[in-house]
Structure 1
């Protein structure tokens, strides 16, 4: 008897023309490191009295379909997740192509995502998937990975794939070694760890329906937040925090072959940190920064992806 194995799991994605309607074609096979996307339906325990000490049967509660997917930050596939988070990019160039994803879109695309375990077999199709947030951690070494959080409309399962033959992606990963951070165009040194999170803060439309599904997931006020842990060597960031002004932070990764990914937070505010001396080792300061809309540009952040994909 075959047993499910993560090594054989498959994930395919396609953007929907109509929310919640799975397209007949256009699926792309996506690389991933983990997948927690799924449907959950808890039970409500009986509150009835007068039937003795043994409880009556529970009833089923509403169905929730959501979860996190761990993804590599790579040259091609990351563009599909960025489109889900920000909407269609502004693309320029003739190869390599520059895709500029901008925050602030009022409407976000929905996706159908199939998670397959062929050895069981079980293929779960999640329709109406909307991207809620992206989390990314920047360090000195190791594989660069991110987590995408999704809200879906519903789940259907089958014994065979409904995604046809997904298109393949040429995998080429960015690594922490390729990363850099700048502040107002100048290199920001002494950074030990940086974390970035962009959130659409989706509002689930939970109407009363016979099938228990949601009617949609609308974006509300977005948020761009993160932390920067630095070895305390100068007062540049502390001085900004005390003054209360904003700066531009840019997190970038570039490969020698020319592909690159740049996350630019145009207006970043820093809190005043506590500088604690906890022993004989170096003193570190942690800044939990927040991004805001830049009035001149009319947006909070821009993500620029340079690769050989002509369109997303």
Structure 2
């Protein structure tokens, strides 16, 4: 009997036309991923009944909860599919080999997906339907692998012994490196930055209606949030002065590799006044836990621009 191994696992993703209805076979992308916690669980409720002795009666099943995190590479192609799930379809312009995809925060509806997690050696294939992307976060540093964690909520999961995704669409993977990263404020590159992070959330709310199948009705977007932190060596007062002013500032977090790039621009970032700690004889650092809000112009919180060679992010 074969035993499942992560090296042979597959993650297939396809956008749904109708919420909770997976697309037909052949309409799925083979998605690169580092780890996946996507799945459904249905806990047991212990019996509370008395009068049957010291041994309890049989438990009953509770409602189904389907969600989890998937860690994905920040690359030049597949990240656009996850961004579509998080922000909605982008506005795409350009011609063969050079396309610019612009995503905007604040949309009222989000696309749903079906994601199949497969272990072919068992075989076991779990199709999660009605999947909606809840949040994304990533860390920025001088070195290391560049990955993002995407949190998703789903309506439910259907296990099977054979894949329902069919032949998967593929593209060559071309990742950004940590050294491609940059953080700017007010249009100027920030100096002395040690690390940074970005956390965007749709703050989804499960619609937990009463159904005979125990599934949820859907996921409604709540008020979006965009937060993060920037840690700098304390060599100047650029960020501190901005924090003390109380005024918002434009900040951009980007990866650029030649003509390909990914840039998240927060149009109105507010910086807190940090505590400058002296912990020893070494270098002094300051961490700014920033928050973004809707700007006056443009009237949104964030814009993400991806430049690559894919004309769109529809199902293959």
TM over 0.5: yes
Report if aligned partners of 1:225, 1:289 keep a CA contact under 8 Å in 2: yes
- Aligned residue for 1:18? 18
1: distance between equivalents of 2:48 and 2:244? 55
1:79-98 alignment to 2 at 5 Å? Answer: 79-94=80-95, 95-98=97-100
1:277-296 alignment to 2 at 5 Å? Answer: 277-296=278-297
Q: Which segments of 5 or more consecutive residues in structure 1 lack a partner in the other structure?
A: none
- Aligned residue for 2:169? 167
- Aligned residue for 1:102? 104
Q: Which segments of 5 or more consecutive residues in structure 2 lack a partner in the other structure?
A: none
Question: What's the offset of the Cα at 1:18?
Answer: 0.5
Determine helix, strand or coil for the equivalent of 2:63: coil
1: distance between equivalents of 2:179 and 2:243? 29
- Aligned residue for 2:152? 150
Report if aligned partners of 1:30, 1:169 keep a CA contact under 8 Å in 2: no
1: distance between equivalents of 2:119 and 2:209? 32
Determine helix, strand or coil for the equivalent of 1:93: strand
Q: Deviations over 1:141-189 (max 9, x none)?
A: 0110000000001100111110010111210000111111111011101
- Aligned residue for 2:244? 242
Q: CA RMSD in A?
A: 0.8
Question: What's the offset of the Cα at 1:52?
Answer: 2.1
Q: Deviations over 1:205-252 (max 9, x none)?
A: 000000011000010100000011111111111111122111111111
Flag as ranges the 4+ runs of structure 1 deviating above 3 A.
none
1:28-177 alignment to 2 at 5 Å? Answer: 28-94=29-95, 95-177=97-179
Question: What's the offset of the Cα at 1:49?
Answer: 2.2
Q: Deviations over 1:80-134 (max 9, x none)?
A: 0000000010111113000001101101000011100000000010010000000
Q: Deviations over 1:32-73 (max 9, x none)?
A: 000000001111122222222222221111110000000000
2: distance between equivalents of 1:182 and 1:18? 40
1:262-277 alignment to 2 at 5 Å? Answer: 262-277=263-278
Report if aligned partners of 1:11, 1:116 keep a CA contact under 8 Å in 2: yes
2: distance between equivalents of 1:277 and 1:52? 64
1: distance between equivalents of 2:255 and 2:43? 42
Aligned counterpart for 1:182 among listed residues 184, 192, 207: 184
2: distance between equivalents of 1:191 and 1:43? 49
Question: What's the offset of the Cα at 1:74?
Answer: 0.5
- Aligned residue for 2:7? 7
Question: What's the offset of the Cα at 1:190?
Answer: 1.1
- Aligned residue for 2:198? 196
Q: Does 1:261 align with 2:262?
A: yes
- Aligned residue for 1:215? 217
Report if aligned partners of 1:65, 1:155 keep a CA contact under 8 Å in 2: yes
1: distance between equivalents of 2:53 and 2:287? 58
